Chain A
């Protein structure tokens, strides 16, 4: 770890979580560095969801330390993580179908009108929220402008995914976690989401990408964290390893490369 000069955004060490007799996270480590897309891959049951949940407060670990930008954190719910500027794009998207795009983007953090109408009458500033939502969606090249009050249920799968990503990108200050963002999408829509991921990275926000889709992982990830049996098994550089080798390491068919050849930190710029 001597070459590590940049402070990680997330630094997890020795994280442990058990469910009864099952050890979901077995002294696992985790690192996310500024500006990168870190893919997390692993077989079903390897615990990749658990470790990511531990990082965002959805699971409370029993042991180990998690530091965000060098400061130890103890989240007890995803809301704590959200207050720190960590956003999550869930596989099931977490959008309310009957509400508008703008309503969904601001769910739980609505803006109120200035002055007495906001403080006493609690009135929402719909205009400002709509403008903001429209601006963020346009930034990501997502929307025609007149549609911001459309109910989310009238959007296609790719459009909904776009709204969820835009919401995360608009509010994330630290990093974004994306859980299987292309799993439910068609080829064309997946492509759009991968472009979105790159757009978000270009804004300087690091991303943790959980995915089963190797072509997608290899296309957008800077480093690939391979999770196996509740541990970080290896971290590889997708430019230096083939997809089939990565899958072989993930399933245990192939030994991981020696630590010196792994990509535990990003290459120096």
Chain B
């Protein structure tokens, strides 16, 4: 060995003088790099800071009109639907996908819950289960097309958006089920509209469900193997496959979970608006993506924390209510949200450089 080694390795003879250190970790110097690497490890920090700052600013400007239990819980009520849908969207975006069909799945699921109860006379709890199953099935179709047929998520969910929405209108015959009828015959459909009153604070079951859902997903994503696999698939699907993760199973499970969560959002939607309306929730797609992006989850997948999306949804809620209470034109809300979206993506790009 020594003979051949010396023959082949002459060019490496100077290596004995080189340092033998291979794996050394330099501490990053300076404030900016340190902030960068902190944000790299806790990506939900930026939206949390923005959220706290915006509450503080509107609180200072509006005083107790804004900074009251009533107003703050009102924000929770107003963002509950978008928040739940954003949770579903977060899962999909973490896998480097996007789900444009979330709003349509939500509405179709709520229509199934309503129509099954009122058209077929099926007991309301069973109809709810049928609605949840419907959402999960739509999610499965998305996931199957993305994972097995290998179509881009954007195209799959763009198509499903149209298909599901059209199904929704065809099936419901564009017919709204009135709030009073639901209240009298199937109150369980409005379950998420129930309110816990604590002084002047009004917490709807829907808002509580949203908060619990985020806690549950945060646990799943950070503490279970499935969660690690979701990140690995979004980060680099081929690498994940090679290191032994069943990536197709992970993808399909994510889209199914997204569909199921959207169906829960549909149920919560009945609680929020009282009626079952096939024309509601049309903005859920874009609003959920907005919340996820402001929440610091990377559209390129594999990066971000699901709690960020909750903060993102709340930021939008705080701006909406705060500016309305200030008497500003609603367009200012959209303008500021637009700034936040671009700012959030710029921060994401900057944080990514910490890895280079």
Contacts and interface: CB of A to CB of B under 8 A. Distances in A.
| Most chain A CB inside 10 Å of its own CB: which residue of B24, B225, B235, B303 | B225
B235 A110 contact: no
A219 B4 contact: yes
A95 B239 contact: yes
Interface string B340-354: 000000000000001
B335 interface: no
Interface string B222-259: 01111011011001101110111110000000000000
A96 B3 contact: no
B225 A239 contact: no
Interface residues of A, number: 51
Contacts of B226: 122
Contacts of B303: 98
Interface in B117-158: none
Contacts of B235: 96-99
A123 B219 CA distance: 9
Interface in B1-40: 1, 3-5, 7-9, 11-12, 15, 18, 22-25, 40
Contact of B23 (A143, A187, A218): A143
Contacts of A189: 22
Contacts of A230: none
A238 B228 contact: no
Interface string B145-180: 000000000000000000000000000000000000
B355 interface: yes
Nearest to B240: A96
A122 B303 CA distance: 22
Contact of B25 (A150, A214, A239, A242): A150
B206 interface: no
A104 interface: yes
Given A107-B232, A124-B223, A158 B355 contact: no
B4 to A, nearest CB: 5
B244 A123 contact: no
A24 to B, nearest CB: 20
A66 to B, nearest CB: 20
Given A96-B243, A122-B225, A162 B355 contact: no
B25 A107 contact: no
Interface of A: 78-79, 82, 88, 90, 92-99, 103-104, 107-110, 112, 121-124, 142-144, 146-147, 150-151, 153-155, 158-159, 162, 167, 187-189, 191-192, 214-215, 218-219, 238-239, 242-243
Interface of B: 1, 3-5, 7-9, 11-12, 15, 18, 22-25, 40, 223-226, 228-229, 231-232, 235-236, 238-240, 242-246, 302-303, 354-356
28 contacts: A94-B242, A96-B231, A96-B236, A96-B243, A97-B235, A97-B236, A99-B235, A108-B229, A109-B244, A121-B223, A124-B223, A142-B22, A143-B23, A144-B23, A144-B25, A150-B25, A151-B40, A151-B355, A158-B22, A162-B23, A167-B243, A215-B8, A218-B7, A238-B4, A239-B1, A239-B3, A242-B7, A243-B8
